[in-house]
Structure 1
Amino acid sequence: MRAKKRYILLALLTLFFSGFFYAQERPKVQALDIKAEKEQTDSLKINASEVLTSLAVVDTTETDSISKDTTKQGFLQGKIDYKAKDYMKMSRKENKIYLYNEAEVYYQDYELKSGIIVIDYTTNEVHAGRIKDSTGALIQPPYFKQGNNIVEPDSIRFNFDTKKALIFNSRTEQSMGESMSVFAETVKKENDSVYFLREGRITTAEDIDDPDYYIRVRKGKFVPNKKIIAGFSNMYIADVPTPIAVPFAYFPMSQERRNSGIIMPTPGQTNRRGYSLQNGGYYFAISDYFDLALLGDYYTNGSYGLRTETNYAKRYKFRGALRFRYENNVESQRGFPDYSRSTIYNIQWNHSQDAKANPNSRLSASVNFGSSQYYQNSFNQLNTPNFLNNTLQSSISYNKTFPGYPMVNLNATTSIQQNTRDQSVNMTLPTLQASMERIFPFAKRDGAKKGIIQNINFQYNFRAENRISTIDTLLFKKEMFDNAKVGFQHTIPISTNFKIFKFFSTSVGANYNEVWQLKTIQRNDYDPILEEATIDTISGFDRFGTYNFNASLGTTLYGTFVFGEDKKIQAIRHTVRPSISYGYTPAFDQYYDEYIGEDGVEREYTRFENGIYGQPGLNNSNSIGLSLSNVVEAKVRDKDTTATEPKKVMLLNNLNFSTSYNIVADSLPWSPVRMSGGTQFFQNKMNVNFGATLDPYAIDNTGTRIDVFNYENGGSLFRLTQANVNVSYSINSKTFSGEEDKEQVDNTQSGGRDDDLFGRAQDFSDERTFADEDDEEKEDIPTEAYAAKLPWDLRMAYSLTYSNRNRESEISNNSLMFSGNIELSPQWKVGVSSGYDFKQKGFTYTQLRFARDLKSFRLNFNWVPFSNRASWFFFIGIKSSMLSDLKWEKRSEPDKRL
């Protein structure tokens, strides 16, 4: 009978509540869709007053905007779902529902989880707070979610009708490509998108329970995922207030990856330009396809610089970047003897088109054009590693293919080459090329071609150039076109190929070449009054045509040395490709005229001298060419015991020899032997390239080649006139573990190399520099085991050049360059870029780099300890892009007078 009492009591309560709900007028108040459930634990008895004491909520119903109207009963606009682990109780007297331990409530797009939840279905309010565990600690704080917004407070009071809430000791996280946490002692939810907070803290620290820094906000307005507008705010580091404060603050919190905003400048100081502010400006996130940054530098002596940068991209179409930099440099002060003023500029444009965009049309650009002394005279620290560049190269090309038969390919290219040493500039504006595919007139297009006749083919190639050679100071002036050369070239090659005795590949061909020029010359006889033989330039169309014949014979020989499958080196294969060629070009003396020189002797010349595509030959050429190429490979036993096949290893990529013999030459018929080769070692980490020039003829006391073989003059068979060796080696901590290192250093954005042998160009104050780096997932390596896994990388480049053209027998170049980086700990990184010139006996440009990860902060120090580029740069600032303006940096510019 005792066991049944609870079920009888439950049935009576159910009848009572059902009668109560149906007794109400349905048009005025809807029924509350809540079912009373039995206690899940018979021994659990909790008093309502005891439960409410753990909420830690101050009753402010008489003063706040969420006041209760007890005279009016509220109602819910939808179905409410709720559950709890230990206890669910409905109080008819208080018109409340109590949920205890892992309580959850779901209503419309609201989700509430907490240790205890009290629902007042008269006022449609809900109270949530923590509960105590067996040790007396407060656990299970509320978790409140509306849509994508999540708030985790100590306690909360929310009204379903007005959508307003009071939240105490809340914590929310805003994701804007990076995490920003917002804490507040008291938050008042005005509506779905506006919150008012008091005594708040904003931080991007990873440790949200004990942040290493935060910004204290006394009062503020918070719009989730959009912005925070605050009054007086100041920065705290390790809970210690700092003097970094503002009377009001605005924190944008857009969900976009990058937002428009101010880029704070970097202060510095120089001896000749005074104090400076560099790389400050504004960044415009215009759209998902392109952006724009306007930056500038200013020096107190009047120098200034302007920089414009934009990046653009469209998926499956194209991508690129455009940069323009201009500097007005003032040295010293006006009135001083060393005062000077100059302007320098630089334009960079990189554009690449996706192959899927248009298979028959392509535009590409790689431009690095500007003042020859730009990198040498610029004080902007982004250009520091690039001042060693001796050449600037630019090209813009457009390629168009016309499919069909015969297919025609059209290409237009503009190219510029600048030498920063002599300030010379060579450009083509533009170069037009057109080529038609090979046509086999005696063979079917879709069939195999056999024999001499069927393999006969011809092509047509056209090339036109407008070539300009000038100097830097004459660019974009009319004088730069005075020496412009325009030329047109038509080439028709005819050839065929066949086999001789199945092993010898033979080709025979002829070439016809016709050149058009718009300017020619005429040499006049020597004038004793003017004391020179004058040259007249004749404007007008003129042409010449040449032709030649050629033939070649070659084969491939294989030599294999087998050592046995039980050996580490199982076999070595040597591939030899000898070839002999013959070429004949007749003399075209019909294009030559005569004039009387200073000595009264008649001399021959051609009016096509100094043309773009050369000049017709006066003497016939009848030469034989010899070449020999070698490739050496090896089969070695694979270290992987599961491998079924041996591994191929390249021992010698190539070793080539070439020379020629002119049959009709009166003297010195043999040309020097050119030897070149290359190979790789250590799993292709080390590249070795070498070359040499061997002259079979001797030289006289003046260094002139004479028609006497070197061995006949008491020397060796060949005279080594020039040799060079270049070695590059790149390894890292993952090299020997079989892993790949994905880290790549790229200085090309500033116009430099694609490695850090000349240092790194970094602007630490611009968070865009580290945007991609911060987004990468970092490998979680335990600190105690880090000493056994120190990540590092090393790059080396060695260059040696030997010269002996006139018995000087000297090393003209002997230098070693290296760069390395190492992570001493998960937070410490150091790097160095330097080199040593063994000929000049001194170190080359040296840069030392130090980086420290301070969790929420980044610390960097770059130092160039010596040379006329000696300088240093110190930076410390918050890593988050949202707060990247909270930084301190200091730089010392190089004193170029040293």
Structure 2
Amino acid sequence: MQSNKHFLVFLFVLLGNTLILRAQEDPIIPLPIVPMQDSITAPLIPANILNDSISVDSVAVDTVSSKQPLLLDKIQYKAKDYVKLSQKDNKIYLYNEAEVYYQDTELKAGIIVMDYVKNEVYAGRLKDSTGVYSQLPYFKQGTNEVRPDSIRFNFDTQKALIWNSRSEQQAGLGALGSDAMKVYAEITKKENDSVYFLSEGKLTTSKDTVDPDYYIRIRKAKFVPKKKIIAGFSNIYIVDVPTPVALPFAYFPLSQGREGGLIFPTFGNDPQRGYFIQNGGYYIPIGDYADIELLGDYYTNGSYGFRANSRYAKRYKFKGNINLSFENLIQSQKGFDDFSRSSNYNIRIQHSQDPKASPYSRFSASVNLGSSQFFTNSLNQINRSNTQTNTFASSISYSKTFPAYPSVNTSLTLTHSQNSRTEQISMSLPTFQASMERIFPFAKRDGIKKGVIQNINFQYDVNAQNSITTTEDEFFTSEMFEDARIGARHRIPIGTNFKVAKYLSVSLNGSYEDVWALETISRRFDEEQQEVVTDTIAGFDRFNRYSMGASLGTVMYGTFNFGEDKKIQAIRHTIRPSISYNYAPSFEQFYETYTDAEGEDVQYTPFETSLYGRPSLSRGNSIGFSIQNTLEAKVRDKDSTVLEPRKVKLLSNLTFSTNYNFEADSLKLSPINMNGGTEIIKNVPINFSATFDPYAIDNNGRRINTLNIKNGGGLFRLTSARLNTGFSLDSEMFKKGGKKKTEDENQDPNYGANPFELEGARDGTSSFKKDKEDTGDVENPAYANTIPWNARVTYVASYNNNNRQNEITNHSIMFNGNVKLTPKWEVGVSSGYDLKNKGFADTRFAFKRDLNSFRLSFDWTPFGRFERWYFFIGIKASILSDLKWENRSQPFR
């Protein structure tokens, strides 16, 4: 083909803009030939590949049609060592740290060869004199990244052939977060932007990308980035050893976010109920803010169970979850003596509203109701953590505030309380409450209040409810409403306070209550049946009551100085004595009488069934005494460079209280209550309480109107006492300089907590917190000097001597702890011992092992009512969490 002068100009510009150009051909010598238009278009480099400064040939082409290039943008390229243009080969060679950019495609490699006729590019590695490869290609198109050994890519068709490709796909989204799936393939064919075909591939989530501890080998597969991998025959390799865990075909979802799909179940065998599958089901996302998880269990003897779990959340609005569970349990087989059938259910709802959603209204719900024996009899491992739950409680409430002065807070609440032992249920359907803020009628709203008059204040509140008490058998039936009680109470408290003699604080208070009821009672003596008959009278009725009181208190300080040269420099004693007086009249007007069998008049009040108590028949007239003590010490610091002494609380609280009833005909003085606490031992709080009775008791254990000291005893008689303390220990406390915040504590807020929490774990493995970064490439690293550990010990003792029994009613010690033998081995224990009854509490051992990509746990309760064991091993990554094996014993019943 004949050259022309335009081609010479183009070649000159190319030579001038190249960083380093090593010519491999002889220089071109211009020939004295008159330029003429050629009848064939020369296959030169398209103009849009080159720089903007290169001129486009202005000579018109002939009429012979030629294939137009499909490049839609300029190709930018560079290299560190040289860029070589070969007109003979129609190629451009880039060497050492070569880079090519075209639209959203980015290619980096040790060497890159571009064919500007075919619009193809080839990239490969560099090999040094020792045979070591470096600068592996990096190919990125859009958000998809591939790191192969070599690649061949066509700019026109967007197809590519990739050798030994390595890519990473983020997949999954949920409580465990997203996981990175590493995709390897010996040969990869890129069909288009969204489809790749793999040959001899490997899939793994291992952090070690060179030598993974496990992978799934796929022979042939179709790979759609960020969506899925569809493979033929696949099986698992562990440390390059093939396993019989295989599938004839496999589907691996790689999409981020929530996707519906099957939840793989757990298989097992129960000696009493046969073979079973547990926790299998389907996951369904609902829109952008909610989802639902449908799970089921089935046993070959006919037992079954199902659960529906739904979670929902909307940022800055609300969040919550709903869990519905039902189990139909069949024991043995029909026709046998031990055959039985039972059904249990449980409903749990949690809902909370973000405070930003509405500043003046709020809706919240916390529901936990169901069969009393649901958790105890459940065969599913996820319910094990609740086997010792004795009380189910629920509350659904809506509150609203009216901010205009005076502001009013209102709430409507539905409550439920259920005792799993007595199977008694108490509900309030509903309770309405409203309260008005405190008003100072004789003072400015924002001014300072001084004196008796300006400090006078009052409030108003109302409480109304419908109370139901029933049993589990009558729950959800019409019979549960038969004994419902409805009532309301209006209350207006009023008070004021002022100073006397500068150091004495005086407060005066009063309260008025108006109680409404929708039913009352009437009693009469039936002569024929010779018994008292109580009739219930439906209809509105009310009574009122009021009281008043006053209190006087002050604060006294006493300091004992021992000298700054002493270890204990001073002790400060703070005393807060107070005296109070309360008076309430008798409300005999709300009482009626009937004549009993002996002809005597018996008083009763029609409001005995009132939800807010009954009017008092006796007058209240009492005086109360209280003394609160605090004892602190100033101690010289062990560090001589610290000039200021440190404060130590010898007694954080020591309070004595009692009252004297002027209206009582006997036993006017109440028992003296003592409550105290101290932390004289650092980080070991000690709380104690006791009750002292000044009166003696007779041989039947009843209090008599004789002081104990006059009956041959002491000034007071100890009737009850309680002591509890607890402390935490860990390895950091015994290091020089005291406890320091460890890396584990910085990363994990649950560091040092009970290791046996399984709440909410579908597969029973949530006792593993989200794994921290591994400790390196060491297979089983060891600690250099100390082994991290933590422990918690709680001690409780109770004493009762009301009737001279002199008995220790409770004397127990509870403990739990963890020991990290290595960064990947952890052992935990939780137990307790009853020192009175000589027996262990529920004792559990936990063993955990971090196997890099896998996690292993063994939970064992060796004895007791809930004796059992549970073993689990599985892949950490949530995307492959169904690749697991677990086994468990069945609880002894």
Provide the secondary structure at the position in 1 that maps to 2:290: coil
Give how far 1:857 is off. 1.0
Q: Quote the residue 2:297 is aligned against.
A: 297
Q: 2:888 aligns with which of 872, 887, 891?
A: 891
TM-score, scaled to structure 2? 0.89
Q: Quote the residue 1:660 is aligned against.
A: 659
Give how far 1:289 is off. 2.8
Q: Quote the residue 2:95 is aligned against.
A: 100
Give how far 1:537 is off. 1.0
Give how far 1:559 is off. 2.3
Q: Quote the residue 2:47 is aligned against.
A: 31
Aligned ranges for residues 756-775 of structure 1 at < 5 Å? Answer: 756=754, 760-761=758-759, 763=761, 765=763, 769=766, 773-774=770-771
Q: Quote the residue 1:711 is aligned against.
A: 709
- Does 2:148 align with 1:153? yes
Q: Quote the residue 1:728 is aligned against.
A: 726
Q: CA-to-partner distance for each residue in 1:386-428, whole Å, 9 max, x for gaps?
A: 2222222222222211112211111222222222221111221
Q: Quote the residue 1:372 is aligned against.
A: 372
- Greater CA drift, 352-361 or 113-122: 352-361
Give how far 1:654 is off. 2.1
Cα distance in structure 1, aligned partners of 2:44 and 2:552? 105
Q: Verify the 8 A CA contact 2:22 2:84 in the aligned structure 1.
A: no
- Segments of structure 1 that go 5 or more residues without pairing to the other structure are 1-5, 36-70, 747-753
Q: Quote the residue 1:206 is aligned against.
A: 207
Give how far 1:351 is off. 2.4
Cα distance in structure 2, aligned partners of 1:649 and 1:21? 105
Give how far 1:814 is off. 1.6
Cα distance in structure 1, aligned partners of 2:113 and 2:140? 17
The residue type paired with residue 470 of structure 2 is: T
Cα distance in structure 2, aligned partners of 1:341 and 1:681? 57
Label 1:356 to 1:634 Cα distance change in 2 as closer, same or farther (>3 A): farther
The residue type paired with residue 871 of structure 1 is: R
Q: Quote the residue 1:183 is aligned against.
A: 184
Q: Verify the 8 A CA contact 1:675 1:691 in the aligned structure 2.
A: yes
Cα distance in structure 2, aligned partners of 1:339 and 1:703? 50
Give how far 1:745 is off. 5.6
- Does 2:431 align with 1:415? no
Q: 1:856 aligns with which of 830, 853, 857?
A: 853
Label 1:171 to 1:557 Cα distance change in 2 as closer, same or farther (>3 A): same
Cα distance in structure 2, aligned partners of 1:380 and 1:307? 11
Q: Verify the 8 A CA contact 1:689 1:727 in the aligned structure 2.
A: yes
Label 1:710 to 1:608 Cα distance change in 2 as closer, same or farther (>3 A): same
Q: 1:80 aligns with which of 72, 75, 98?
A: 75
Label 1:679 to 1:305 Cα distance change in 2 as closer, same or farther (>3 A): farther
Provide the secondary structure at the position in 2 that maps to 1:114: strand
Provide the secondary structure at the position in 1 that maps to 2:667: coil
Q: Quote the residue 2:400 is aligned against.
A: 400
Label 1:857 to 1:170 Cα distance change in 2 as closer, same or farther (>3 A): same
Aligned length: 844
Cα distance in structure 1, aligned partners of 2:691 and 2:147? 77
Q: 2:696 aligns with which of 698, 703, 718?
A: 698
Aligned ranges for residues 309-328 of structure 1 at < 5 Å? Answer: 309-328=309-328
Give how far 1:587 is off. 1.2
Cα distance in structure 1, aligned partners of 2:300 and 2:351? 37
Give how far 1:841 is off. 1.0
Q: Quote the residue 2:829 is aligned against.
A: 832
Provide the secondary structure at the position in 2 that maps to 1:608: coil
Cα distance in structure 2, aligned partners of 1:571 and 1:459? 45
- Does 2:740 align with 1:738? yes
Provide the secondary structure at the position in 2 that maps to 1:385: helix
Cα distance in structure 2, aligned partners of 1:761 and 1:446? 50
Label 1:823 to 1:518 Cα distance change in 2 as closer, same or farther (>3 A): same
Label 1:340 to 1:698 Cα distance change in 2 as closer, same or farther (>3 A): same
- Greater CA drift, 819-828 or 567-576: 567-576
Label 1:653 to 1:319 Cα distance change in 2 as closer, same or farther (>3 A): farther
Label 1:107 to 1:682 Cα distance change in 2 as closer, same or farther (>3 A): farther
The residue type paired with residue 395 of structure 1 is: S
Cα distance in structure 1, aligned partners of 2:632 and 2:592? 56
Q: Verify the 8 A CA contact 2:44 2:90 in the aligned structure 1.
A: no
Q: Verify the 8 A CA contact 2:21 2:84 in the aligned structure 1.
A: no
Q: Verify the 8 A CA contact 2:23 2:84 in the aligned structure 1.
A: no
The residue type paired with residue 346 of structure 2 is: N
Q: Quote the residue 1:519 is aligned against.
A: 519
Cα distance in structure 2, aligned partners of 1:100 and 1:160? 20
Provide the secondary structure at the position in 2 that maps to 1:773: coil
Label 1:471 to 1:211 Cα distance change in 2 as closer, same or farther (>3 A): same
Cα distance in structure 2, aligned partners of 1:8 and 1:876? 60
- Does 2:524 align with 1:552? no
TM-score, scaled to structure 1? 0.88
Q: Verify the 8 A CA contact 1:758 1:834 in the aligned structure 2.
A: no
Give how far 1:686 is off. 3.6
Q: Verify the 8 A CA contact 2:563 2:569 in the aligned structure 1.
A: yes
Q: Verify the 8 A CA contact 2:264 2:281 in the aligned structure 1.
A: yes
Give how far 1:287 is off. 4.5
- Does 2:139 align with 1:141? no
Cα distance in structure 2, aligned partners of 1:622 and 1:540? 34
Label 1:757 to 1:890 Cα distance change in 2 as closer, same or farther (>3 A): closer
Give how far 1:764 is off. 6.7
Q: Verify the 8 A CA contact 1:295 1:308 in the aligned structure 2.
A: yes
Cα distance in structure 2, aligned partners of 1:99 and 1:303? 71
Cα distance in structure 2, aligned partners of 1:562 and 1:289? 66
Cα distance in structure 2, aligned partners of 1:309 and 1:196? 38
Provide the secondary structure at the position in 2 that maps to 1:534: strand
Q: Quote the residue 1:813 is aligned against.
A: 810
- Does 2:116 align with 1:121? yes
- Does 2:245 align with 1:227? no
Q: CA-to-partner distance for each residue in 1:636-678, whole Å, 9 max, x for gaps?
A: 4567888775544444332222111001211000111111223
Q: Verify the 8 A CA contact 1:220 1:231 in the aligned structure 2.
A: yes
Provide the secondary structure at the position in 2 that maps to 1:493: strand
Give how far 1:810 is off. 1.0
Q: Verify the 8 A CA contact 2:651 2:680 in the aligned structure 1.
A: no
Q: CA-to-partner distance for each residue in 1:550-592, whole Å, 9 max, x for gaps?
A: 1111111122334455555544433221111001111111222
Q: Percent identity?
A: 56
Provide the secondary structure at the position in 1 that maps to 2:783: helix
Q: Quote the residue 2:541 is aligned against.
A: 542
Give how far 1:10 is off. 10
Give how far 1:72 is off. 6.9
Q: CA-to-partner distance for each residue in 1:132-178, whole Å, 9 max, x for gaps?
A: 21212333222211122111111111111111111111111112322
Cα distance in structure 2, aligned partners of 1:564 and 1:165? 87
Q: Quote the residue 1:487 is aligned against.
A: 487
Label 1:476 to 1:122 Cα distance change in 2 as closer, same or farther (>3 A): same
Label 1:86 to 1:792 Cα distance change in 2 as closer, same or farther (>3 A): same
Cα distance in structure 1, aligned partners of 2:167 and 2:36? 39
- Greater CA drift, 737-746 or 538-547: 737-746
Q: Quote the residue 1:250 is aligned against.
A: 251
Cα distance in structure 1, aligned partners of 2:842 and 2:37? 91
Cα distance in structure 1, aligned partners of 2:29 and 2:292? 72
Cα distance in structure 2, aligned partners of 1:721 and 1:288? 62
- Greater CA drift, 542-551 or 786-795: 786-795
Aligned ranges for residues 616-635 of structure 1 at < 5 Å? Answer: 616-635=615-634
Cα distance in structure 1, aligned partners of 2:307 and 2:409? 38
Label 1:400 to 1:725 Cα distance change in 2 as closer, same or farther (>3 A): same
Cα distance in structure 1, aligned partners of 2:432 and 2:388? 33
Cα distance in structure 2, aligned partners of 1:554 and 1:662? 20
Label 1:8 to 1:201 Cα distance change in 2 as closer, same or farther (>3 A): closer
Q: Quote the residue 1:801 is aligned against.
A: 798
Q: CA-to-partner distance for each residue in 1:174-222, whole Å, 9 max, x for gaps?
A: 1232211111111111111111111111111111111111111111111
Give how far 1:252 is off. 0.8
Q: Verify the 8 A CA contact 1:312 1:319 in the aligned structure 2.
A: yes
The residue type paired with residue 739 of structure 1 is: K
What's the C-alpha RMSD, in Å, of the aligned pairs?
3.1
- Greater CA drift, 485-494 or 19-28: 19-28
